[in-house]
Amino acid sequence: MALSLTNTLIADMEAVLANPNVPGNRAMIDATFGVDPSLHFPSIVDTVAKLKTGTFPIMLPLAKINPALAFTFYDATMSPKYTQFGRTFYAQRKKKTCKYSQRAQEATLIHEATHYLADTGDYIHRGEFLKGSDETQTSRTGYTGRLDPYETIAGLDGDIAWIKMRDGYEPKIDPKVPPVKKMHINAESYAQLVSIAGHAAGHLMPNISDIAFVVQDKY
């Protein structure tokens, strides 16, 4: 993972957000953040600007021992202190068979950076996203159904967990569950946007797992 590539991908996100009415850009924004009225577009622009100019501390000692992908530590006042990346994050450097790709490393870096720089969160409570500084933890989170981020809108739109969160859904018994509000706070939305925008700009290679699916479909 090269810092120069990360900066290039942030610029790809900026280009999309700078021209939100271009059909292709609007489609990326809607796919990754939804269209609920609670969405605050200026906050998205501001968060990406912080990614461009801000820095955040990474704690390296013992990081590879932890089996987690990545996590941001908060102090007693729920202020972010630093980020650590775990074994899964580093695995693709050592194992050619690992499905955790360079694309996922870049997206994870963006995801964690937004926690530190813009107080984004992962948890959903009472139908809306909580900021990272909110100590409430719930069973519902803003992730997709797989580890690797998607490279296309079509791929993301095919993720059941994501579309249920973004678009709402109609259970067989209960009343309709509305879209989750305030997706501009969802850290994973930025991870998905950087992946899709980076792919559209030609700066990210396809996922190994996605290539396998294409080959399987062809043969």
Maximum C-alpha span of the chain: 55
CB 77 within 8 A of CB 183: no
**Which position has the higher pLDDT, 158 or 205?**
158
CA distance 135 to 130: 9
pLDDT (tens digit, 9 = 90+) per residue, 119-148? 999 999 999 999 999 999 899 999 999 988
Residues 143, 13, 48, CA angle at the centre, nearest 5°? Answer: 75
pLDDT (tens digit, 9 = 90+) per residue, 89-114? 777 555 554 556 778 889 999 999 99
Q: Mind listing the domains of the chain with CATH numbers?
A: 3-218 (3.40.390)
pTM of the predicted protein model = 0.87
Separation of first and last alpha carbons in the chain = 32
Q: What is the mean pLDDT of residues 23-41?
A: 97
pLDDT at 80: 92
pLDDT at 206: 56
DSSP 89-125: HHHTTT-TT----HHHHHHHHHHHHHHHHH--B-BEE
